[in-house]
Amino acid sequence: MKITLYPGCASEGTAISYTQSALEVAKKLGLEVKEIEDWNCCGSTVTSSVIGQFAADVLAARNLALAEKMGEQDVVATCSSCYAVLGNVNKKFADDKFKANANDALSKDNLSYSGKLKVRMLLDVMYSDVGLETIKSKVVKPLTGLKVAGYVGCQTVRALREFDNCENPTFLDGIISALGAEPVQFSHKLKCCTGAMALSSPEITISTVYPIIKSAHEAGADVIVTPCPLCQMNLDAYQVKVNKNFNTQYKMPVLFFTQLMALAYGLDRKAAGLDYCIVSPNEALKNWM
């Protein structure tokens, strides 16, 4: 299967381990991945408050126009925020007036977009297209005995509601099981981590992240996995603050689900990007590293 990858800005910084492990895992699964050439920032959900909704939409649409030049395969995002933005803008192209206006602006860069592509989230492609059987068939080190909290977060299943169930999602847990691990059920599976607010209102992020880690811990999880860069960063990097503020001693590693796949596929810790984890995963994952 061919996919066009939209890496997003986090792929070069905070979520470098996500893209790296995703590409390694894709190789094992025989996915043919090509990055959108000359892609730009999707604008995230915040740019519209500065430049207005329409300009922000056009900014995101430029990526779709570039993707269309590369063929008709699906555009796949790894980041939930990118997925939300690109997917919602893609839908707007069904409206003729919007499409004409957006293409008017895009023509300044000699670009245009028909609205025909599909925007997908990597988690969905893994589950729906690759399939659990294939995911399972590549496992060489089953993660038997590992308890995993599949933290889905908010935007992944809610922004477009085009895959999984937005109130009771099962895709992530399905993948965790296919790798031989045990998905645990915890109350905060879908709670927002406050996303980009972590920098402007850290105290809110710390008090929001605390019950998420707490509920995963109480459910007996050894690690948390997530499909979203912001979730990963907030839970991982802010855990030290949670421990200070709430007098706890959590040492809960937070990984991208592709890192867990890489591990089960027998890839080394470098390919799995484990050294980018702030809370050390060494103890929890020692049987598989």
Partner 1 sequence: MSEVAAKDNSVRKYDPEFTKRVYQMENGKWVKMCMQCGICPTTCALKEKMDLSPRRIIQLIRAGAKDEVLKANTMWLCTSCYTCACRCPRGVPMMDVMHDLRHLAVENGIKHNSQAMAEVYAKDVFKRGRIWEGGLTLNYGLKIGLGNFVKMALDMQDVGKGMMLHRRLPLLPPKGVKNPGKLREVLNRAAEIAKEGGH
Considering only the stretches 34-42, 142-150, 172-180, 281-289, report the one whose residues sit in contact with partner 1 under the rule CB under 8 A: 34-42
Of the pair 21, 44, the CB lying nearest partner 1 is at: 44
In whole angstroms, how close is the CB of 83 to partner 1 at the nearest point? Answer: 11
Considering only the stretches 125-133, 157-165, 214-222, 259-267, report the one whose residues sit in contact with partner 1 under the rule CB under 8 A: 157-165
Distance of CA 112 to the CA centre of its chain: 27
Number of residues lying near partner 1 (CB under 8 A):
70
One character per residue 78-117, x = contact with partner 1 (rule: CB under 8 A): ---x--x---x--------xx--xx-xxx-xx-x------
Of the pair 12, 32, the CB lying nearest partner 1 is at: 12
Of the pair 72, 104, the CB lying nearest partner 1 is at: 104
On the CB side of 119, CA atoms within 13 Å amount to: 32
By CB under 8 A, tell whether 120 contacts partner 1. Answer: no
Of the pair 133, 247, the CB lying nearest partner 1 is at: 247
Distance of CA 152 to the CA centre of its chain: 9
By CB under 8 A, tell whether 21 contacts partner 1. Answer: no
In whole angstroms, how close is the CB of 59 to partner 1 at the nearest point? Answer: 6
By CB under 8 A, tell whether 149 contacts partner 1. Answer: no
Taking CB under 8 A as the criterion, the residue among 201, 218, 270, 289 binding partner 1 is: 201
By CB under 8 A, tell whether 1 contacts partner 1. Answer: no
Taking CB under 8 A as the criterion, the residue among 59, 126, 178, 231 binding partner 1 is: 59
263 contacts 272 by C-beta, under 8 angstroms: yes
Instruction: Mention every residue, 6+ apart, whose C-beta is less than 8 A from residue 272.
Output: 17, 21, 24, 259, 262, 263
In whole angstroms, how close is the CB of 135 to partner 1 at the nearest point? Answer: 27
β-strand pairing of 254-256 with 223-226: parallel
Residues 33 and 108: their CA atoms lie apart, in Å, by: 29
Taking CB under 8 A as the criterion, the residue among 30, 240, 251, 268 binding partner 1 is: 240
By CB under 8 A, tell whether 43 contacts partner 1. Answer: yes
Name the residues that contact partner 1, by CB under 8 A.
9-10, 12-14, 16, 38-41, 43-55, 57-59, 62, 81, 84, 88, 97-98, 101-102, 104-106, 108-109, 111, 154-155, 158-159, 161, 166, 190-192, 194-197, 199-202, 204, 208, 233, 236-238, 240-241, 244, 275-278
